[in-house]
Amino acid sequence: MELSQDWRKLQRTFYPAKKDAGSELSAVYLVHDRGVILTAFSEGENLSDWSGMTVEEFRGQFPHRTLAVTECGRMENWVQTSLAELNLPAQVERVRSHWAHETEADSRNQVLRALPSRTHFLIDALERSWWSRVLPSSFALLLRLESDSKANRHFILVYRKGRLEHFGEPDLTFMSPERRESLGEVTRYLAERLALPVQGVQLLEQDWKNWSDQAHPWKEMAWAIQSKRVQLVPFRWQCVGLVATRGLIGL
Amino acid sequence: MVNYWDFRPTALVERLDALVQQGVTELVSFVPWQAIEGDIQHSLSKFLHASAERGLAIHLVVSPEVGLSAPQSGIPKDLLSKQEGLAQNCDGGWVISAAAPQWHALPSIHSAEFQKRFQNYLAKVDHVLSDVQKRGSAGVLDRVQLVLTGSFWKYYRSHRASSLSPFGGPAGDFSGTVGLQLRTKIDQRFAQAEFSEPNPAAANRWKVKGLEGVNRRWFMQDAEDQFRARNAQYFGRKALSIRVNQMELFTPEVDPALLYSQVMAFSSGLRADFSRLSDLIDEAAMRRTEVEGEVAAPWVHWTANAGFASLLDAEKQFLVLKSLLLLASQGGGVFIDADEWFSLSEGFRRRAETLARTLASGDYRLRQRAFYLNSHLWSSGGDLWSELESKLGTLSRMIASDDLLKGDEGLDADLLVVDPSVILTRNRMIHLLSWTRSGRVTAVPRSLLYSEAARTELNRVCQSHERLDLLMGVPFELYPMGEGKLLVYDSHALEKAESAEVAGQFVHALLGLAEIKAPCTTSDSRLEVVGLERRGGGRGIFVLNPSARAVEADVLFPNDVIVGDLGEQLKRSQEALLSGPASSVSVASQRFHLAAPPCGVLPMEVLDSQWENELERRQAAREIESTQRVALDAAHVELDGLTEVNPWN
C-alpha cells in the first residue's frame, strides 16, 4: 500500500519542529463543560491540576494570560464535522476556522491571538490567495530540496479539484538513478503517471528552511528565481509572474 | 516499530539493511486491514522473507489498533462510512482518534459488519502466513511471532469524563447496536441456575433498570474477554508454527483523555500535552488484563503521527524511560517508531537499551501490593480506587478477573478491594475467601449484588468467625481468618457519603491492616517515585521529575537505608549487577537530599535490611500457601467426591 498522505514528511518539510522550550507566558487553551474546566492546556506547562476547577477561577488566578476558551460539546462538533475532510491539514484548518468564527465576539480576539497562523507561506498562497483563482483546479507541485551534506529530497503536493489530495515523497523507483538526477525528467515522469501538469521547483534546503520561518518571503524568492538560486522546471513565465506579483507588489 | 506497508519494496529492503547496520535485531509491524486486504504486491510476504534473510525477529500485530500511520489507522473505509457502525461513548458522541494521517471515529466492534469483515481479515492473515510457510523459503517464519492486543475496547470512553480523570466515567460502546445484544446477554446470563435461586422469579431482580449500569459494565468486559479469547483460539487452532503473544497495547497519544489538548495542539501548532501523556503511562501500568487465564503484558506505543513526535527530546526521553520502568518491569515494554527512536541521541539510546535489557531479564520487578477488582477494567473504579491509586500509585492494580489472583501475580499482593459494582457468585466468593486465608486482607462490599449461593457462603464464613464492628470513614465488619482478614464494608454508606475523605479514611485503614506502605516518599509532590524490587535482594528506586524545572527535594524512607548509585551499576554487565555491591554508598539514613533536573530520571540502589526481612517473612508465608494449594489440588484429583476443603476455618 502506497502511503498517499505522508503527514510526517509534510511536517518535516513545511513545519519543522521547534526545539526551544517555548516562552513562559504562552496562551492557555481551556475546554469546559458548563464552566467546569475539563482540559487546561498550554505548551510546556502542567495545568492538569486545573481540571475540575471553574473557568472563572482560572481567569481570576491568571488575569493577564491570553485565554482561548471553548465549550466541550462545541469542540466535539467541530472535530466530528472535520472528519469529512480528506486529510489532516484540511481537518485542522476546518477546526481552526470553526474556532475563530464561532467564538463569541467578546472573546474572539483572544482566540485569534491564541491560534497563531501556522499556515506555510506556500500552502497559504496555493490554497487561500487569489492564486487559487488563476491556477488550474488540478495540478501538482514538486519540490526538490538540495543539500551539500545529504541526498536531494523530493516532496510533492497533488491538488485535484482545488483540494490537496496527496502529499509525500513521490515514488521514483521506476526511474534509473541517472534520470532521477534531472528534475526535468522527474517532472515529465510524474506528469505522465499522475496525468496532471507538474511544476518542479528546485532550491537549496537552507533557503527553504529560512523562508519557511517567514510569513512573506516572496520577495527573496523572486530574486532567487532571477539569480537562478531557485529553478522552475519547466520554466513558465506565468509561475514567475505569480511569485513576482506577491514578492514585488505584495499581492 | 517499522511498518512494512509504509515502504515500497525496494525502499523497504534498504531500510532493513540500514536497521541491521544500526544494530537492530527485532522489529514490530502492524498488519492493518487495508494493507492486507489490498496487498496485491505480496508486501507482507516480501517483508517476512527480507527480514528472515537479515536474521531479524518479527512481531506482527494482527489486532486492529489505533495510532497507525495508515489512513484511518488501516480500518476499511466502509466500516467508518455508516454512522450506525460507529462506536459511541456514554455522552452519545463518537470516539475520535486524533492522530495523523487523518482523524477518524472508531468503529463499533459489536456491529455485525465489523465482525464479518474482521473474520475475513483474520482469514486473509492466516492465508498469507500459511502461504509463506508452505511456499516460502525454509525457516522464514522461525523468528516471527503474532501479537494479539486489546484492540479498541479501552478507547471506548467519554472524552469529557476522561479529561477530568483518565479512566473516569463509564466506559464501553453505547451505540444502538449494543442495546439489543445487551438485553439478549442479560437474559442468557441470569437464566443460569445460580441466579434463579430460591425460585425462578428471583432472576428478574437482576434485570431491573436500576442495575443497568452494573449489567452494562459486566457485558462490556465479557464482550472484550470473548473477543480476545476467540482471536487467540483462531490462531491457536491453526497449523501455523507461529507463536502467539497476548499484549495489552496502549497508545496514549490517541487516548480519549487527550483529545481536546491534541486538537488544540494540532490547531495551534504547539507541542503536545506532555504531562497528560506522562500520567497516561501510570494508568497503563495500573491495569492488568488476562486472556484465558494468562496475563497480557502491558505495552505502550509511541508513534510518529501524533503528540509524541512534537515533544522536545528531553520530554521524549523521559516518556520512554518512564514507560520502560513501569511496563518492562511487569513483562511488557515499549513500541517506538524507528525514526523517532533514532532521532534520540546515541548516548540516551544506549542507556535506555541497558535499562530495557536489565528489566527484560527480570532482575528488577515492579510488584503490585494491592488489587482492586472492578466489574469493567476501563470504567471508573469510584472513590475507593481513586484513593487506593493516590496512596499507592503504581503499586496498585485494577483487575477485572479474579483468575489473576491464582498465579504468580496473585502471590505478590497483600490486599484486595472488591468494587461495589462487582456481581459476586459462589465460585468467586470461594475463590476470594481462599485467597484471603493465606495472610491477605480482602474487602468485599455488603451490597445487593450477591447471588443467593454467594450470600450463603459469605454468611457461613462470617458466622464461623469472630466479628469486630468498626468505623473508619465507612462502617465495616472485620473477620480474622487464620493469617488473613476479611472485611465486609457497607457500600451504601460509602455511596451516601459521596466524599473522597470518607473513602480515604477507609482505604487508609485497609492499608494499615494489610501492612502496606510506599517504599519511599518525596518532600516535593512534583516528583514521582518508581520502586522496583531486585532479584536477590535490594531495591532500585527511580525518582522522576516530569516538570520543566529542576526540583530539589528530600527522599524519605520509612527505615534507615543505605543508598548507592544505580546508574553506575547499570553500566556494568548484568552478572556484575546482580552480584556486585553498589559502587558508591551513603551512610544509613531515612532522608536523602537530591536535585532532579528537568525531565530527569535519577536511579538509586537502596539497601534496607528491615524491608528485606519483611519481604522474606511475606515470601515464606506465600510459599507455605503455595504448598498448601498444591496439596489441595492433588487431593481434589485423588479423592473422589471431595468438592471443597477449608482446612483453616
CATH number for the domain that contains residue A241: 3.30.1050
- Cα three-residue angle A124-A126-A128, rounded to 5 degrees: 50
Residue range(s) defining the domain that contains residue A156: 121-249
Q: C-alpha cell of B67?
A: 495510532
Alpha-carbon A128 to chain mean position:
11
Nearest to A44 among B6, B163, B271 (CB): B271
Quick check: is A56 in a domain? Answer: yes
| CB-based contact, A34 to chain B, within 8 Å | no
Nearest chain A CA: its distance from B99 CA (Å): 8
Supply the ipTM of this predicted assembly.
Answer: 0.87
Domain match, A230 and A136 both: yes
Helix (H) or strand (E) holding B176: helix B176-189
CA atoms within 13 A on the CB side of A125: 18
What is the average pLDDT across B624-648?
Answer: 65
Is residue B641's pLDDT more than 80? no
CA distance B201 to chain A (A): 43
Ramachandran angles phi, psi of B40, nearest 5°: -75, -20
Of A87, A118, A173, the CB nearest to B102: A87
Closest CA to A167 of A141, A196, A193: A141
Q: Which of residues 102-141 of A touch B (CB under 8 A)?
A: 114-116, 118
| DSSP β-bridge partners for residue B449 | none
Q: Give A103-111 contacts, CB < 8 A, sequence gap 24+.
A: A103/A70, A107/A67, A107/A69, A110/A27, A110/A66, A110/A67, A110/A68, A110/A69, A111/A68, A111/A69, A111/A70
Residues of B in contact with A169 (CB under 8 A): none
For residue A154, the distance in angstroms to the closest alpha carbon of chain B comes to 15
In a domain, A110, yes or no: yes
Q: Above 60 in pLDDT, residue B477?
A: yes
CB B8 within 8 A of CB A171: yes
* Per-residue pLDDT reduced to its tens digit, A179-211: 988 999 999 999 999 999 999 999 999 999 999
> Which residues of B fall within a CB distance of 8 Å from A48?
275-276, 279
Pick from A2, A72, A80: CB nearest B8? A2
Give the Cα separation of B126 and B336 in Å (integer): 26
Q: How far is B586 from chain A (nearest CA, A)?
A: 34
Between residues B482 and B475, the one the model is more confident about = B475
Nearest CA in chain A to B5: A1
Question: Do A211 and A150 share a structural domain?
Answer: yes
For the stretch B166-192, pLDDT in tens is: 999 999 999 998 988 999 999 999 999
Task: Compute the average pLDDT of residues B243-252.
Answer: 95
Any long-range contacts for B290-293 (C-beta under 8 Å, 24+ apart)? Answer: B290/B399, B290/B401, B290/B403, B290/B404, B291/B148, B291/B225, B291/B228, B291/B229, B291/B232, B291/B246, B292/B229, B292/B232, B293/B403, B293/B406, B293/B407
Nearest chain A residue to B83, by CA: A80
**Structure confidence at residue B626 (pLDDT):** 64
Q: Grid coordinates representing B591?
A: 532522608
Q: Are residues A174 and A106 in the same domain?
A: no
Checking if the pLDDT of B647 tops 50, the result is: no
pLDDT digits (tens, 9 = 90+) for B24-37: 999 999 999 988 88
Q: Give chain B positions within 8 Å (CB) of A6.
A: 101
Residues 145-174 of A with CB under 8 A from B: 171, 173
Residues of A in contact with B124 (CB under 8 A): none
| B396-399 β-sheet, strand order | B396-399, B370-373, B415-418, B441-445, B484-489, B474-481, B468-472
Q: Which of B260, B271, B544 should be substituted to probe chain A, the one whose Cβ sees the most A Cβ atoms within 10 Å? A: B260
Q: Which residues contact B335 (CB under 8 A, 6 or more apart)?
A: B1, B28, B249, B299, B300, B301, B302
Query: A87 and A52 in one domain?
Result: yes
Is A19 an 8 Å CB contact of chain B? yes
The C-alpha of B451 sits at a distance from chain A's nearest C-alpha, in angstroms, of: 38
CB contact under 8 A, B266 and A11: no
* Residues contacting residue B561 through CB under 8 Å, at least 6 positions apart: B588, B589, B590, B606, B607, B608, B611
Backbone φ and ψ for A22, nearest 5 degrees, come out as 85, 165
What are A235-244's pLDDT values in tens digits?
A: 999 898 999 8
Q: Do A8 and B103 touch (CB under 8 A)?
A: no
User: Do B269 and A99 lie within an 8 Å CB cutoff?
Assistant: no
Cis peptide before A16, with omega less than 30 degrees from 0? no
| A42-96 residue pLDDT tens | 988 899 999 999 999 999 999 988 889 999 999 999 999 999 998 888 899 899 8
pLDDT at B579: 42
Within 8 A of A43 by CB-CB distance, chain B residues are: 265, 270-271
CB atoms within 10 A of CB B613: 10
Q: Are residues A185 and A132 in the same domain?
A: yes
Whether A128 is in a domain gets the answer yes
Smallest CA–CA distance, residue A237 to chain B, in Å, is: 35
Model confidence over B389-410: pLDDT tens digits?
999 999 999 999 988 887 666 6
Distance from CA of A43 to the nearest CA of B (A): 6
Domain boundary among A114, A146, A170: A114
Q: Which residue of B has its CA nearest to A68?
A: B264
Is B190 in a helix, a strand, or coil? coil
Using a CB-CB cut-off of 8 Å, the residues of chain B touching A50 are none
Q: Which of residues 195-234 of A touch B (CB under 8 A)?
A: none
Q: Are residues A242 and A206 in the same domain?
A: yes
Assess if residue A98 is contained within a domain. yes
Angle separating helix axes B112-135 and B43-53, nearest 10 degrees = 40
Both A98 and A133 in one domain: the answer is no
Find where cell 466530528 sits.
A80
A20 and A105 share one domain: yes
Q: What are phi and psi of A117, to 5 degrees?
A: -65, 120
pLDDT for B648 equals 46
Who among B94, B271, B275 is closest to A80 (CB)? B94
> Of B347, B339, B384, which is closest to residue B510 (Cα–Cα)?
B384
Same structural domain for residues A110 and A143?
A: no
Contact residues on chain B for A26, CB-CB shorter than 8 A: 270
A129 secondary structure, DSSP code: S
> A3 touching B, CB under 8 A?
yes
Q: Which residues of B touch A173 (CB under 8 A)?
A: 8, 10-11
Cross-chain Cβ contact A88/B164 below 8 Å: no
Question: What residue ranges define each of the domains in chain B, with the CATH number in brackets?
Answer: 4-311 (no CATH), 370-513 (3.40.50), 521-609 (2.60.40.1180)
Looking at per-residue pLDDT, the higher value among A104 and A141 belongs to A141
- Report chain A's terminal Cα–Cα distance, integer Å: 41
Q: What is the pLDDT of residue B633?
A: 67
CA–CA min distance A236, chain B (Å): 33
> Is the model's pLDDT at A30 over the cut of 70?
yes
Interchain contact, A87 vs B275, CB within 8 Å:
no
If phi over 0 gives left and psi between -120 and 50 gives alpha, with beta otherwise, what is residue B336? beta
For B199, other C-beta atoms within 10 Å of its C-beta total 8
With beta carbons less than 8 A apart as the criterion, state whether B112 and B203 touch.
Answer: no
pLDDT above 70: residue B316: yes
Q: Among A86, A114, A142, where does a domain finish?
A: A114
Q: Do A43 and B270 touch (CB under 8 A)?
A: yes
Q: What is the pLDDT of residue A1?
A: 38
SS3 content of chain A, % helix, strand, coil (to 5): 45, 20, 35
pLDDT of B575 > 70? The answer is no
Please tell me if residue A52 touches chain B, with a CB cutoff of 8 Å.
yes
Of A113-122, B391-400, B534-543, B567-576, the one with minimum mean pLDDT is B567-576
What domain count does chain A have? Answer: 2
**Are A129 and A82 found together in one domain?**
no
**Nearest residue, CB atoms, A114 vs list B10, B159, B268:** B268
Rounded-to-integer distance, Cα B330 and Cα B366, Å: 6
CA angle, A94 then A99 then A103, to 5°: 150
Provide the pairing of β-strand B396-399 with B370-373. parallel
- Sign of the CA dihedral B11, B12, B17, B23? positive
User: Is the CB of B93 less than 8 angstroms away from the CB of A76?
Assistant: yes
Residues B323-336 have pLDDT tens digits of: 999 999 999 999 99
Chain B interface disruption, residue of A11, A32, A79, most B CBs within 10 A: A79
Q: Which residues contact B349 (CB under 8 A, 6 or more apart)?
A: B341, B342
Which residues in chain B have their CB less than 8 angstroms from residue A84's CB?
A: none
What pLDDT does B636 receive? 66
Are residues A156 and A45 both part of a single domain?
no
Residue A218 inside a domain? The answer is: yes
Which one, of B175, B176, B172, lies nearest residue B162 by Cα?
B172
Answer yes or no: do A87 and B304 touch at CB < 8 A: no
**pTM of the full structure:** 0.90
Select the residue of B103, B279, B310 nearest A88 (Cβ to Cβ). B103
In a domain, A6, yes or no: no
Q: Which of B11, B264, B312 shows the shortest C-beta gap to A41?
A: B264
Residue A4 lies in a domain: no
Higher per-residue confidence, A69 vs B637: A69
* B chain contacts of residue A18, beta-carbon cutoff 8 Å: 271
Min distance A232 CA to chain B CA atoms (Å): 28
Cβ contact, residue pair A171, B259, below 8 Å: no
Interface contacts A/B by beta carbons within 8 Å: 136
Shared domain for A100 and A135, answered yes or no, is no
Q: Is the pLDDT of residue B55 over 90?
A: yes
Residue where a domain terminates, one of A75, A91, A114: A114
Q: Would you call A91 an interface residue with chain B, using a CB distance cutoff of 8 Å?
A: yes
Q: Percent of chain B beyond pLDDT 90? A: 68
* Residue A1 within a domain: no
Question: What is the distance in angstroms between the Cα of B21 and the nearest Cα belonging to chain A?
Answer: 19
